[in-house]
Amino acid sequence: MSASGTEAAGKVEHMLRQVTPGRYDAYEALLHALAEGHVWMLLWHGQAGSPDAQYGNMEIEGLGYAPCVTSAQELAASGWTRAHEVVAVRDVARALYPDRWGVWLNPHAPGGGVGIPWADLRRIATGLDRMPAGPLRLSEPAIELPQFYALLTQNAHRTPAVRSLRRAWVQPALGTPYLAIGLDLYDTGPAAVETVRAMMRQSVAAVPDGLPVSTVAMSDGYDPVALWLRANARPFYDREAHLAPPQRGTAAYGYPQQR
């Protein structure tokens, strides 16, 4: 390990000591340190670089983690006698999060170490500043924005790529709460996506100053906001429901059923 690598490991271990329950700022600082560092992954089978190499695994509260240590000193302290490999955390993150695996740092340490769940490995892999810091509090928006929703619905109807729209109020562990618009698209090609971006640019003009608005792709099977929207929020715009003919024997919207 180079001098810069040793320094990075020292930074990770310093941040690790600051993490305590509820200290989301310290946990976020740890994620930033990890994103630039390396970990010593503990191999249950095989040798570093071999095709049969396999990380260890552990399950905590229903989530899977691969155990690792943060330095050569911690490796020695752990008493691990099998093989290990030193890997950049970004590379580990890219490899593990698609299968919904996290990493557990220094499980041998007093207190049991600290787990980084797969959702935060995804943030490391894709860019910590691109996604909100968890845990997220998600709910239906309480702010009334009739002009914005009316304009957005109108513009969505004119944008053929849009199938439906949903909404959520997102409160990150750190940072400013914001309104999230879930985009369910028929077409995710570059040209179609550009028309959706233009739709959003035109629509946010009706949003009051100072209210952040973000978008999330409903097709993203890993994004926690998209997952919440799909499970808990009905579309406020649905092209197919709008185009569907009324069924016989049902009441038309806004009118009593005719006998």
CATH of 3-130, one of 3.40.1350.90, 3.50.30.30, 3.40.50.12160, 3.40.190.10: 3.40.1350.90
Question: What would the pLDDT profile of 190-248 be if each residue is shown by its tens digit?
Answer: 999 999 999 999 999 999 999 999 999 999 999 999 999 999 999 999 999 866 555 55
Chain centre distance of CA 212: 18
What pLDDT, in 10s, does the model give residues 59-86? 999 999 999 999 999 999 999 999 999 9
Residue 154 identity: Q
Q: Quote the pLDDT of residue 243.
A: 63
Give the pLDDT score at 11.
Answer: 87
Q: Are 160 and 218 in contact (CB under 8 A)?
A: no
Comparing CA positions, the residue from 199, 200, 9, 36 lying closest to residue 106 is: 9
The answer to whether 41 touches 105, Cβ cutoff 8 Å, is: no
Q: Any residues with CB less than 8 A from the CB of 5 and at least 6 apart, and which?
A: 37, 38
Domain ranges in the chain are 3-130, 137-243
CATH topology of domain 137-243: Beta Polymerase; domain 2 (3.30.460)
